[in-house]
Chains A and B, each alone.
Chain A
Amino acid sequence: DAGITQSPRHKVTETGTPVTLRCHQTENHRYMYWYRQDPGHGLRLIHYSYGVKDTDKGEVSDGYSVSRSKTEDFLLTLESATSSQTSVYFCAITSSANTGELFFGEGSRLTVL
C-alpha cells in the first residue's frame, strides 16, 4: 500500500463549473504527479510537484491548475470544466526505493456534461 488516497472517486458535473480533485499521501514523498487517462492516449502528465509550493507543467496542462500547500496534499483544479476534461485522473508518487518507479492512487473518474 503506497498510502495514496484520491477524492472524490467519482464526480459528475456540468460544463463551466469548477472542480477540485484531491490527492493525499501519508508517506512524506517530495514528488507528486497528476495524470489523466483517456482511451488511445495512455496516461498523460498534467502537472507535477517537487515540493511544497513547487509545481510545474506537464504535457497537457491547459485548463488545469494545481496547488501544494503542504507535503501530503496535492490539489488539481479545473477552473471551468469542459467536456474534453471528462477523463479518469490518477495521482502518483515516487517510490521510496529511489528507482523512479511511480505508485498510483485509485483514480478519480470525472464526467463533465
Chain B
Amino acid sequence: ELKVEQNPLFLSMQEGKNYTIYCNYSTTSDRLYWYRQDPGKSLESLFVLLSNGAVKQEGRLMASLDTKARLSTLHITAAVHDLSATYFCAAHGSSNTGKLIFGQGTTLQVKP
C-alpha cells in the first residue's frame, strides 16, 4: 500500500531565505504531483513530475523527482510572504485508476 510522507509538516521562515520540503513515498510510483492550498481554498496544481530526474520550475519554486530514491523535493528560493500556504505532494496509488495518495501537507509561513 502506497504511503506518502512529507517533512517538515510546518515551516516558519524569514523572507529571503531558501528551504526545501521533502516528499517520500513507500512504493513505486512513476509520477509525482505538487499542489498548493491557501487557507479556506481549494487545491491548485503546481507541478507534475512524470519521470525520474524530472525538474520543473516556476518562479521561486522548483520541484524535482528521484524515483529510485522514492523522493521528491520542493525547493523554495528567496522566500516571499506570498508563498505562505500549505503544500501537498501526491503520488499515484494506481496508475490505471488515476487515484492519488497525498502527503499530510507542509504549512509554510514566511515572515517579513
Q: How far is the CA of A34 from the CA of B112 in the complex (A)?
A: 37
Which of B45, B50, B93, B104 interacts with A42 by CB under 8 Å?
B104
Which residues of A approach B to under 8 Å, CB–CB? 31, 33, 35, 40-45, 48, 50, 56, 58-59, 90, 94, 99-107
B101 at the interface (CB under 8 A from A): yes
Which residues of B approach A to under 8 Å, CB–CB? 4, 6, 9, 31, 33, 41-43, 45, 48, 50, 88, 90, 92-93, 95, 97-105
With A31-B97, A33-B99 known as contacts, the answer to whether A42 contacts B43 (CB < 8 A) is no
Q: List 9 A-B contacts (CB under 8 A).
A: A33-B99, A42-B6, A42-B103, A44-B102, A94-B98, A100-B98, A105-B42, A106-B41, A107-B42
Question: How many residue pairs between the two chains, A and B, have CB atoms under 8 Å in the bound complex?
Answer: 59
Contact A42 B99 (CB under 8 A): no
3 A-B pairs with the lowest CB-CB distances in the bound complex, closest first: A42-B102, A43-B102, A42-B104
The minimal Cβ–Cβ distance linking A58 to chain B, given in whole angstroms, is 7
Contact A100 B31 (CB under 8 A): yes
The minimal Cβ–Cβ distance linking A59 to chain B, given in whole angstroms, is 8
Which of B33, B99, B103 interacts with A45 by CB under 8 Å?
B99
Contacting residues, chain A, for B97 (C-beta < 8 A): 31, 48, 50, 56
Contact B45 A101 (CB under 8 A): yes
